[in-house]
Homo-oligomer: A and B are copies of this chain.
Amino acid sequence: LTPATANAAWDVASLTRFLDGDHREVRQRVRTLLADPRFACHRDDGQGRRRQVLERCTVLASEGLGRLHLPRSCGGAGDPAAYLAVVETLGLGDLSLLVVFGVQFGLFAGSILALGTDAHHRRYLPAAGRFDLAGCFAMTETDHGSNIRDLETVARYDPATESFVLHTPHPGAGKDYIGNALEAHMAVVFARLEVAGEDRGVHPFVVPLRAAGGGILPGRHVEDCGGKAGLNGVGNARLAFDQVRLPRESLLDRFGRVSTGGTYTTPIESPARRFLTMLGTLVPGRVSVAAAALSATKRALTIAVRYGAGRRQFGPPGAPETPILDYLVHQRRLLPPLATTYALHFAVRHAGREVLAAFAEGRTGADRRRVDALAAGVKAVATWHAVTTVQTCRECCGGQGYLAVNELGPLRSDVDVFTTFEGDNTVLLQLAAKSLLADVRGELEKSTRLDVLRHLARPVAVRATTATAARHRLRDRRFQLEALRWRERHLLAELGGRLKRAVQAGEEADEAFLARQDHAVEAALAHIDRVVLEAFAAAVDSCPDFSFRPVLALLCDLYALGRIEVAAAWFLEHRYLGPHAARALRPQINALCADVRPHALALVAAFDIPDAVLAAPIGRP
């Protein structure tokens, strides 16, 4: 065993550089800032805590970190990837700060950038990027969270005064859980646009909330949401509007415009497609959430792996007690999540590049759908992984893990909300499945069900008749990839076929989908499993440093076999795995855990979380 990082047989710093990849300089700047005494954590959850987080956000803004994604013409750097790197790195620290930062620069400034036009950009973005104009993003309503299409806040155009009248028709139509709304001076508010008596669907408006002195402007109601399960450094509020008059320019009009005389024009005629295009601006935010959730997971694993390597309990008579991480069951609890964290690291990076490229290139149709599915799926998988892993880390640290000072409890409570905000995970997976289905539909329309299934015939099905053959096959990267690819394609083609036959039999398309929701969610998860393994495998292949490549390859095996084990019943049912291969999974995973164990400390050290950020005393190296 190699108990200490310093004794690792490979260079931790070079793995950190490999993990950091692009924008290393800005990542290092954020790490250094987070380790600054000004960013040391407080436990006070009242107003003082919120003020403190705002002050820290001001520091980040003054370092220019909040405007990297904004155009150069608005004071930014025109570099969305750098901004994403900042968000990912902030996820290593206080998640309240991350959320306040993300709401201000990602959701508020980002939506003005994506949904507004030149005049809006020039008018608002410079101040927003400096945090001189504090904003919030008011989409969700009390009665409408996932179903944004049916929001009920109304903005009626009044040609006589050339203004909109923004109104909350009933309490359930109030904007709810709005982050930063307790301090924001402006909100981007989503409301149904009514022009000349016609409902044009949901549109975004910039709405001043407070006067320069901080007083709430007339017609706006702001109510504190009160304590939350976590993230109490973020102020959340309910907003309601009582016949608030907004000038015509308040409409962020990239996708819908109202002339002075009250004529509505839009570059996207189909209301459904227009709505989806506007919602598309949320897509990069989903990758940010996935990246930040993963950073929080890295922090939890760093704490738990270090505690597990140092904490001794039981042991052979007369000898020192054994570090708990040397026990098989402890390894099985922590090391597969560590492997998944590495796997998701590369997958989220891949998703970030894809999403930013899709936006930069203005991709549409199938190319765009694929990216949306990727972002939605990766967000769901990474955030659920975060919640379960932080919980496991807490349990693996026992009583120490339960003390607030050791961070795991508060971290779990903070990261929890990621599973439902920026899109509920279950809803996102269904969106992803619908996008993926659109791709197989063409295929299905050309062929009968049997053709499709024949087309998917198992290329490398395991019918290994000996345990040794099964073992070799399981450790073969091509087998692992083919298995996850086959499962994804099979689940999707089968779902497509079931839906097609249901519709042919007279079911409504929506009803047919709803009756097969579980199948759709499973297909989306299988898609992400495959994407993640491909991204990890590609990273291992592209890995420049041969000294740590074997360790990454072990982690990649551990991830792959873990995913195959979770779906083992499915693979057996479909006779893709034979009983010999299925039975070999568990000992193979155990063996991989034993192989990874000596590298565990170095693998968490490679996350390079500064000691000052890793506030937990039990998490210190």
Does residue A496 face the partner (Cβ distance < 8 Å to B)? Answer: no
- Complex CA gap A329/B425 in Å reads 11
Does residue A352 face the partner (Cβ distance < 8 Å to B)? Answer: no
Q: B579, A145: Cβ atoms under 8 Å?
A: no
- Complex CA gap A312/B150 in Å reads 11
With A313-B147, A583-B573 given, is the CB distance from A398 to B426 under 8 Å? no
- Complex CA gap A403/B409 in Å reads 17
Of A327, A395, A516, chain B has the most CB atoms within 10 Å of the CB of A395
Question: How many identical chains are in the complex?
Answer: 2
User: Measured between C-beta atoms, what is the minimum distance from A573 to chain B in Å?
Assistant: 5
- Complex CA gap A575/B410 in Å reads 45
Does residue A154 face the partner (Cβ distance < 8 Å to B)? Answer: no
Q: A399, B420: Cβ atoms under 8 Å?
A: yes
Does residue A424 face the partner (Cβ distance < 8 Å to B)? Answer: yes
Does residue A140 face the partner (Cβ distance < 8 Å to B)? Answer: yes
With A313-B147, A395-B419, A420-B398 given, is the CB distance from A229 to B409 under 8 Å? yes
User: Measured between C-beta atoms, what is the minimum distance from A168 to chain B in Å?
Assistant: 17
- Complex CA gap A284/B515 in Å reads 45
Selected from B43, B314, B399, the residue in CB contact (under 8 A) with A140 is B399
- Complex CA gap A398/B425 in Å reads 10
- Complex CA gap A568/B312 in Å reads 36
Q: B399, A421: Cβ atoms under 8 Å?
A: yes
Mask, A139-178, CB within 8 Å of B = 1, is 0100111110010000000000000000000000000110
Residues in B neighbouring A67, C-beta threshold 8 A = none
Query: Dominant SS at the A interface?
Result: helix
User: Measured between C-beta atoms, what is the minimum distance from A495 to chain B in Å?
Assistant: 13
Selected from B150, B329, B430, B569, the residue in CB contact (under 8 A) with A518 is B329
Of A312, A404, A412, A425, chain B has the most CB atoms within 10 Å of the CB of A404
Q: B399, A313: Cβ atoms under 8 Å?
A: no
- Complex CA gap A574/B579 in Å reads 7
Residues facing B in A566-597 (CB within 8 A) are 568-569, 572-575, 579, 582-583, 586, 590
Selected from B147, B314, B416, B517, the residue in CB contact (under 8 A) with A321 is B147
Q: B225, A177: Cβ atoms under 8 Å?
A: no
Q: A176, B569: Cβ atoms under 8 Å?
A: no
Q: B409, A228: Cβ atoms under 8 Å?
A: yes
With A147-B313, A327-B517 given, is the CB distance from A391 to B399 under 8 Å? no
Residues in B neighbouring A150, C-beta threshold 8 A = 314, 321
Residues in B neighbouring A510, C-beta threshold 8 A = 316
Does residue A280 face the partner (Cβ distance < 8 Å to B)? Answer: no
Residues in B neighbouring A399, C-beta threshold 8 A = 140, 145, 176-177, 420-421
Residues in B neighbouring A144, C-beta threshold 8 A = 313
Residues in B neighbouring A610, C-beta threshold 8 A = none
Residues in B neighbouring A417, C-beta threshold 8 A = 402
Query: Which 7 residue pairs of A and B lie closest in terms of their CB atoms, listed nearest first?
Result: A229-B409, A227-B404, A568-B569, A572-B572, A569-B569, A177-B399, A329-B517
Contacts A/B (CB < 8 Å), 5 sampled:
A229-B404, A229-B412, A328-B517, A399-B420, A568-B569
